[in-house]
A and B are shown apart, each in its own frame.
Chain A
Amino acid sequence: MFAFSSCVFVSCNHSDKSHASKDTLKGKLTISGAFALYPLTIRWAEEFRKIHPGVTINISAGGAGKGMADALSKMADLGMYSKEVSPEEMAKGAWTLACAKDAVLPVMNAANPLAKTIQAAGVTKDKFYGIFISGNVRTWGDLIGMKDANTMQVFTRSDACGAADMWAKFMMNKKQEDLQGIGVNGDPGVADAVRKTIYGIGYNNLNFVFDVQSRKPYQGLAIVPIDLNGNGKIDKEEDFYHSMDEVMAAINDGRYPSPPARRLYFVSAGKPVNKLVLAFLNFILSDGQKFVNEAGYVRLKEDVIRSQLNKLQ
């Protein structure tokens, strides 16, 4: 868990004189948690540091569970969290702030011989249930009603995380513990395992499926489209997987279901009082919002942002 937590250390090398004179914000901010929010938080931290060069922000990804645990135990100032906060966590004093949206997408190996057929037909929620929960759908042939005896090699997340939680919730409100498959550590771990296994299937956060630069899925990874109306083919309104922006638009207008689309949160133990933390959160909900789309996330609706800003008052 700790090993995979990639760390980014945004620190100050060149001091900007014009800012240094009036900027009094100084100190260190520690953020830990969900892989889903990790790339965006890095972006926000970089932009925030351009305005406040005296601030150091230390970000590590280790799954939503770790984010919540670190935030509540005050090991981190803020936790990145990618699922709904449970009443038990609320009872322990968790305070949340929604900051963006993204989604979990089912993925397979692009070299799968049936990839084209599956992308034309789509997979219904029931079939996904058969793959990931009950284990009824065992071969790729079972999935699309063809004679293909190649066993599906199902990958899931081994670490406590939001992606697995949301993906399980999508299938009849199940939990991460109900998901079948080989447990691999971290979002990059699952993507890598699916890319290496020709008959592999798994699920990933939007940002680990698409390359933010090219806006296309990563080499070797293909999305398994969801057949929402269950008619056995991907209709025009279900067909939005060609580029990152298409998927983001579908998440935004609700064509892509939620779950597995979900809000992303920052959590902390009680309402933050640290001035630096508050300044960072304020930045995220105001100026920071313009980097959301660019970084591959979906913006929150205006009224949601306003209500979140009120929480900071």
Chain B
Amino acid sequence: MYLLNRQQRHVVNSSWMLFSLLIIGFLPFILFGGLYFKSFLLLKTHTLKDLIFLHSWHPSRGEFGFYPFILGSIWVTLLAILISTPICLLTAINVTQYAKKRFLRVMHPVIDILAGIPSVVYGVWGILVIVPFISRYLGPWFGVQTMGYSILAAALVLSVMIIPFILNIMIEIFRTIPTELKEATLSLGATKWQMVKHVLLRKALPGIIASVGFGLARAFGETMAVLMVVGNVIKVPHSVFDPGYTLPALIANNYGEVLSIPQYDSALMFAALLLLAVSLFFNLLMHFFIARYNKY
């Protein structure tokens, strides 16, 4: 019936699996190697320190300072995290501890829908709603004249985009906290809020940090939605109402230009390398916290 006997089939099947595993295992290294190789042309003439800390970006004159892009990315990402973390945390506590079970069942599809919306749609929403809102209401309210295309606009759009990712993990983590622990706390006379504050949050802290790290990595790499509202101005931002430029937007906007200027190609690959390094850093950090969390 079979061409091979049982033993042989076992070998074939398991070697396929091993092969797939190896591919996935080596992929990050191949990516890293490829990007490093491609950005070597730039690294030959510029020191790493210059590339990261210089402000001037004039590819046609051979000046490649990534500082405005790196700072732009960091501002947008951190601001988005600052906005969405408290919202996610409070929602997750409410859904898992206070609200009825029914509510959680409704929340899950809502989260999935939010997660499934393409980033361009978020970008268009940003241009149509967030940008005018900032230029007409929020900016004047703070006494700033702004066109709305700003770090803040990008952060607001991003914060909504990463909510489903952070929220999902947070809900799962709160659900794994043993009921006994919570009941024991309540039986000692603690109020529900005291239980949440002193037991639930403390126990879940590494998990919460990990979920935020996950959101951070996602936000850092988001391209389209940010590109559409951030303003794409190569300047170090000084306030959240200033326009900025992010690393992914740099790559997406200029990929067509690379052919006309030597080293440009290399510079964009270096930007990609930076992106990869940062998201790897966040990922490792996240895994570190998850590992700690699992020990308890």
Q: A interface vs B, CB < 8 Å?
A: 1, 3, 62-69, 72, 86, 88-89, 92, 151, 153, 158-160, 175-178, 180-185, 193, 196-197, 200
Residues of B within 8 A of A200 (CB): 147
Cβ distance A193 to chain B, nearest Cβ, rounded Å: 8
- Whether B256 contacts A64 by the Cβ 8 Å rule is yes
**4 residue pairs, one from A and one from B, having the closest CB atoms:** A65-B256, A183-B232, A160-B257, A158-B232
30 contacts between A and B (CB under 8 A): A1-B253, A1-B256, A62-B256, A64-B256, A65-B256, A68-B259, A69-B255, A69-B256, A69-B258, A72-B259, A88-B261, A88-B262, A89-B259, A92-B259, A151-B145, A158-B227, A158-B232, A158-B249, A159-B256, A160-B253, A182-B149, A182-B231, A182-B243, A183-B232, A183-B243, A183-B253, A185-B228, A185-B253, A193-B149, A200-B147
The yes or no answer to B233 lying at the interface (CB within 8 A) is yes
State whether B60 touches A65 (Cβ < 8 A): no
Q: 19 extra interchain contacts, Cβ-Cβ under 8 A, other than A175-B58, A177-B59, A197-B147? A: A1-B252, A63-B256, A65-B254, A65-B256, A86-B260, A88-B260, A158-B253, A176-B257, A177-B58, A177-B60, A177-B234, A180-B233, A182-B149, A183-B231, A183-B243, A184-B149, A184-B232, A185-B253, A193-B149
In Å, the complex CA distance between A69 and B233 comes to: 23
Once bound together, how far apart are the Cα atoms of A72 and B259, in whole Å?
9
CB distance from A109 to the nearest CB of B (A): 12
The CA-CA distance from A7 to B231 in the complex, in Å, is 25
- Residue B289 lies at the interface, judged by CB distance under 8 Å to chain A: no
Residues of B within 8 A of A (CB): 57-60, 120, 123, 132, 135, 145, 147, 149, 224, 227-228, 231-234, 243, 245, 249, 252-262
Query: Which residues of A sit under 8 angstroms from B224, Cβ to Cβ?
Result: 3
Given contacts A3-B224, A197-B147, contact A66 B256 (CB under 8 A): yes
> How far is B259's CA from A180's CA once the two chains are assembled, in angstroms?
23
* A241, B223: Cα distance in complex, Å: 38
Is there an interface contact between B254 and A3, defined as CB atoms closer than 8 Å?
A: no
By the criterion CB–CB under 8 Å, are B232 and A3 in contact?
no
- Residues in chain A near residue B135, CB distance under 8 A: 197
Q: How far is the CB of B51 from chain A (nearest CB, A)?
A: 17
One of B120, B245, B261 near A3 (C-beta < 8 A): B120
User: What does DSSP make chain B's interface, helix, strand, loop or mixed?
Assistant: helix
Q: How far is the CB of A290 from chain B (nearest CB, A)?
A: 31
Q: Which residue of A67, A153, A160, A177 is within 8 Å of B147 (Cβ)?
A: A153
B268: min CB distance to chain A, Å: 11
Complexed CA–CA distance, A180 and B243 (Å) = 12
Q: In whole angstroms, what is the CA distance A64 to B147 when docked?
A: 27
In the complex, residue of chain B having the shortest beta-carbon distance to the beta carbon of A183: B232
Most buried by B among A1, A62, A68, A86: A1
B257 & A183 in contact (Cβ 8 Å cutoff): no
Tell me, in angstroms, the Cα distance from A22 to B34 when the chains sit together. 51
Tell me the smallest distance from the CB of B146 to a CB of chain A, in Å.
9
Check if B233 sits within 8 Å of A160, measured CB to CB. no
Given the complex, which residues of A lie within 8 Å of B123, measured CB to CB?
A: 3
Closest beta carbon of chain A to B129's beta carbon, Å: 13
B134 to chain A, nearest CB (A): 12
Evaluate contact between A182 and B232: CB separation under 8 angstroms. Answer: yes
A196 to B127, CA, bound (A): 11
Residues in A neighbouring B145, C-beta threshold 8 A: 151
Q: List the A residue with the shortest CB-CB distance to B225.
A: A3
Report which of B57, B147, B259 forms a contact with A88, defined as CB distance below 8 A. Answer: B259
In the bound complex, CA of A92 to CA of B58 (Å)? 22
CB distance from A304 to the nearest CB of B (A): 24
Contact B256 A182 (CB under 8 A): no
Q: How far is the CB of A162 from chain B (nearest CB, A)?
A: 11
A62 to B257, CA, bound (A): 12
Residues of A within 8 A of B132 (CB): 196
Q: Which residue in chain B gives the minimum CB-CB distance to A155?
A: B147
Contacts of A178 in B (CB 8 A): 58
Partner of A185, one of B227, B233, B258, B262: B227
Q: Are A160 and B60 in contact (CB under 8 A)?
A: no
- Residues of B near A69 (CB, < 8 A) are 255-256, 258-259
